[in-house]
Amino acid sequence: MDAAFFDRWSLEYDDDVIACDEANLYPFAGYRRTLESLLDAIKAKPGAKVLDLGFGTAKLTQKLYDTGYEISGLDFSPEMCRIAQEKMPKAQLICFDFAQGLPDAIKDARFDIIVSSYAFHHVPDSLKPTRIVEWYDALNPGGVILIGDVAFLNEQSLELSRDDAGDEWDEDEDYMVFSSLQPEIAHLSPKYEQISHCAGFLTIYKTYC
Ligand SMILES: C[S@@+](CC[C@H](N)C(=O)[O-])C[C@H]1O[C@@H](n2cnc3c(N)ncnc32)[C@H](O)[C@@H]1O
């Protein structure tokens, strides 16, 4: 799925996602609960400096923007960037492929929260540990990485979901499998919670010392 795909999907995206969640179907079963979990975790840090990776139509970040959070974000779809910038005129939104790292404009910035909802599967598995370590380095002490996405505790639960989804399963997406990722980032003490049969939530806190 490239930026042009998301440009075309941008106007129907919100309705499609909710319909899929309501039907409890892959890939968006648990979408609203995942966003609520992300928002609950973020509410613990009112007014924080937030970086949203793959902000899309700003379903998550607009709520934060409207309540005084300082928002930066990366998304590689120009159309998603346009829609989100209209909703959040003062946010620093950059059209950029976050799988490649952080752009120069924010390379030296530090954030209290780095959040990503339903976009981490666009980072190839081989790059996931490197990107997470870079994002960790971009946190202020006491900051947190929050990733909600299509995700699985282990390979067996991914296989169950793949069987269940049948032809709907997207072979091009690299869904997080926590048991495979965990050893690569164990030094960051990641925590994982399963939200639905195909949604999961990764939390990594940066300690003060
Ligand atoms: C499924 S949508 C999720 C949007 C939003 N975060 C949400 O929860 O509804 C994925 C978003 O990530 C963006 N995206 C996908 N791969 C990306 C990449 N490599 N770099 C930057 N943005 C990417 C897409 O353009 C799209 O806006």
pLDDT at residue number 54? 97
Q: What pLDDT is attached to residue 26?
A: 96
Does residue 8 carry a pLDDT above 90?
A: no
As a whole number, mean pLDDT of residues 75-94 equals 96
- Give me ligand 1 centre to Cα 19, in Å: 18
What is the structure's pLDDT at 73? 98
Confidence of residue 12 (pLDDT cuts 50, 70, 90): confident
CA 75, CA 201: separation in Å to the nearest integer? 20
For ligand 1, what atom is nearest to the CA of residue 99? 19
CA of 116 relative to ligand 1 center, distance in Å: 9
Q: Tell whether the model's pLDDT for residue 6 goes beyond 90.
A: no
d(CA 105, CA 109): 8
The model's pLDDT over 111-146, given as tens digits with 9 standing for 90+, comes to 999 999 999 999 999 999 999 999 999 999 999 999
Question: What is the average pLDDT value for the chain, to the nearest integer?
Answer: 95
What is the Å distance from ligand 1's center to 152 Cα?
Answer: 19
Question: Would you call 197 exposed, middle or buried from its count of C-beta atoms within 10 A (0-12, 13-18, 19+)?
Answer: middle
Q: What are phi and psi of 66, to 5 degrees?
A: -65, -20
Instruction: Determine the pLDDT at residue 92.
Output: 98
Q: Does the pLDDT value for residue 4 go beyond 90?
A: no
Domain ranges of the chain: 3-205
Instruction: Quote the DSSP letter at residue 25.
Output: -
pLDDT computed for residue 57 by the predictor: 92
DSSP 8-class letter at 54: T
Return the pLDDT at 13.
79
Name the residue of 12, 64, 74, 75 to mutate for ligand 1: max ligand atoms within 8 A of Cβ: 75
Give the mutation target among 80, 127, 128, 130 for probing the ligand 1 site: most ligand atoms within 8 A of CB.
Answer: 80
For residue 185 the two structure tokens come to 């980032």
Residue 56 Cα to ligand 1 middle (Å): 5
pTM, 2 dp:
0.95
For a pocket test of ligand 1, which of 76, 93, 131, 195 has the largest count of ligand atoms closer than 8 A to its C-beta? 76
CATH fold group of domain 3-205:
Rossmann fold (3.40.50)
Ligand 1 pocket: which residues have CB below 6 Å?
A: 3, 6, 54-56, 59-60, 74-77, 80, 97-99, 117-119, 122
Residues 128, 98 contacting (CB under 8 angstroms): no
At residue 22, the pLDDT reads: 94
pLDDT in tens, 33-81: 999 999 999 998 999 999 999 999 998 999 999 999 999 999 999 999 9
